[in-house]
Amino acid sequence: MSLEIKEIVKKTYTDAVLNESCCNTSCCNDDQDITFSENYSGVNGYDENADYGLGCGIPTEFAKIKKGDSVLDLGSGAGNDVFVAQSIVGKNGHVIGVDMTEAMVERANENKTKLGLNNVEFLLGEIEKLPIIDSSIDVVISNCVMNLVPDKNLAYSEVFRVLKLNGHISISDIVLSGELPPKIKTAAQMYAGCISGAMNKVDYLNTIENAGFKNIEVVKERELYLPDEMLLQYITPEELIEYRRSESVISSVTVYAEK
């Protein structure tokens, strides 16, 4: 199943690059575009060409990045958060983006070339097996990507491995309070849209703690809303009523934690 999920995600994000249509949003289908992304206008280093609206936060906002830091962006896409981080670390710092979608890595490198940056690199790879050496990174950031990883325990163990002692993370993601309807959980399109792969908030934070992190803090949280018309493509009207009554909540969170 995990291989199937990865192929679905790769196709969705490849289409985002090649078609630059529906999936320039973090949750999309044939009839609607629903974006969870935040407004980057005014953020130093922001490059509109690198922003496909696939995120659900601005992780650099809470990342405590310093000049000269080495920063790793997980699921770096076309380079949006990498370029923001680069503007902070300066010429003596270094920023690496890792993404498992070839088309995204190619587009990110095109954007890097246009910007003339020589302290940025983009690598093809998976979060569960990062192409990064042990204890080499000061700060790890990620924007609405960890919920797409089938094995989140392994993913966070890898993040812990590559961080230096006293390094830290600032990761924006989608989490749940309560339960999603089963048909939403199993909908491939909703997985690629960051929804059905999301964990319960408590379990998500426990996963980070179990990987070895300390001083874990939710530094930002906002509730997200999926319209009835979208949900009705996957569940019946009766199931929709039951879901709304359950008071389940889908949220975007940004989590800070230290090694």
Note down pLDDT in tens along the chain; length 259 residues: 465 666 666 666 666 666 754 443 444 444 445 568 899 989 999 999 999 888 899 999 999 999 999 999 999 999 999 999 999 999 999 999 999 999 999 999 999 999 999 999 999 999 999 999 999 999 999 999 998 888 999 999 999 999 999 999 999 998 988 877 776 766 545 544 556 567 889 999 999 999 999 999 999 999 888 788 878 888 888 888 888 888 788 889 999 999 9
Look up residue 198 and give its DSSP letter.
Answer: P
Residue numbers of the domain that contains 90:
2-258
d(CA 107, CA 123): 12
Which segments of the chain are extended strands (E)? Answer: 27-28, 33-34, 70-74, 94-99, 120-124, 137-143, 163-177, 199-200, 214-224, 249-258
Nearest to 98 by CA among 136, 56, 141: 141
DSSP string, 13-54: HHHHHHH-SGGGSSEE-SS-EE--PPP-TT-TT--GGG--S-
| Residues ≥6 apart with Cβ < 8 Å to 84 | 40, 43, 44, 45, 46, 58, 60
pTM attached to this predicted model: 0.87
DSSP string, 203-215: HHHHHHHHTT-EE
Helix (H, G, I), strand (E, B) or coil at 129: strand
CB 198 within 8 A of CB 176: yes
What is the maximal distance between C-alpha atoms in the chain?
A: 58
When divided into structural domains, the chain yields a total of 1
Q: In Å, how far are 157, 204, 231, 250 from 243, measured between CA atoms?
A: 33, 21, 10, 12
**CATH code: domain of residue 82:** 3.40.50.150
